[in-house]
Amino acid sequence: IDILGPLPLTKGQCKFLVVAVDYFTKWIEAKPLATITASNVQKFVWKNIITRFGIPYAIISDNGLQFTDKKFNNFLENLGI
């Protein structure tokens, strides 16, 4: 999982893109974001990954601030990730 941007502004003032790639199938999930907060990343993981495909064994990130946030890590720990 990673964050791309800043990109040129789009409708809704979105200038970032959160992207997750399944290493086995190479399936990509992406969502535009206006701000890159841990809360937005958590919502993305829940809505676009967990509710659609189930709980992953692991999530690999670049350890950006959004991914090392205490609330986000607690969210992942509670799910057993």
The tens digit of pLDDT for each residue in 21-49 reads: 999 999 999 999 999 999 999 999 999 99
Query: Got the DSSP string for 45-79?
Result: IIIIIIHHH---S-------TTTS-HHHHHHHHHH
Q: Residue 20's pLDDT is what?
A: 95
Q: Check which CATH number belongs to the domain holding 24 and give it.
A: 3.30.420.10
What is the identity of the amino acid at 12? G
- Range of the structural domain that residue 69 is part of: 2-79
pTM, two decimal places: 0.88
What is the structure's pLDDT at 16? 94
pLDDT reported for residue 63: 86
SS3 assignment, position 5: coil
Number of domains in the chain: 1
